[in-house]
Structure 1
Amino acid sequence: INKEYQTTIFEKFFTAEDVNLHSSGKTQFRSGGPGLGLTIAKGIVEAHGGRIWVESQGYDPEKNPGSTFFVLLPAYEGEASSQSNISSAIIR
Structure 2
Amino acid sequence: MEEVMIEFYKEKDEQAFLDVWQEKYGQLTDDEIDQLYADIADAIDAAIKEGEHRLGQPYEYKDVLIGKSDFNAFHSLYIFEAVKE
Same fold (TM over 0.5): no
Return the TM-score normalized by structure 1: 0.29
Higher relative contact order, chain-length normalized (CA < 8 Å, sep 6+): 2
Report which of the two has the higher share of strand: 2
- In our comparison, the structure showing a higher alpha carbon Rg is 1
Higher helix content, 1 or 2: 2
